[in-house]
Amino acid sequence: MIELTRFVLGDGPKRVAPFSHAVRAGDFLFVTGQMPTDPADNTRCVPGGIEAQTRQVIANLKAVLAGCGAAWERTIMARIYLTEFQRDYAAMNAIWEASFPVGQLPARTTVGVTGLAVGALVEVDLVVAL
């Protein structure tokens, strides 16, 4: 049986619902979808549209990974949720691609959704190798 370790980080992004920030299962870390919440106030998204929100989601994901002893570059799979898929897809992609070393992009699925918590435009969850 695989041992599970659940991470709820005091120093990471504040949770907007009851969940673990991440769960370790064997050599994999499953990271809960992160929102583009302002570090100073987890109930609001950062202002500035999809570019600012994508950067904040990535910063929040990196903070969770650091708190779990994992590295961004070890991301295997990402799921990205966009509320304005047609409008925001290209801008989000440019920021996403630039956040990884050249040739090191993870597998990914991007889905258009009708809404996200705290009025976010984007949310991302990850599977990371440890």
Residue 110, pLDDT score? 98
* Structural domain range at position 34: 4-129
The residue count for the chain? 130
Mean pLDDT of 64-81: 98
CB atoms within 10 A of CB 8: 12
pLDDT in tens, 18-56: 999 999 999 999 999 999 998 877 779 999 999 999 999
pLDDT in tens, 84-97: 999 999 999 999 99
Residue 63, pLDDT score? 96
Provide the number of structural domains found in the chain.
Answer: 1
Distances (CA, A) of 30 to 41, 91, 110, 121: 25, 26, 17, 22
Residue 43, pLDDT score? 77
CATH code, domain with 14: 3.30.1330.40
Contact status, residue 120 vs residue 35, Cβ threshold 8 Å: yes
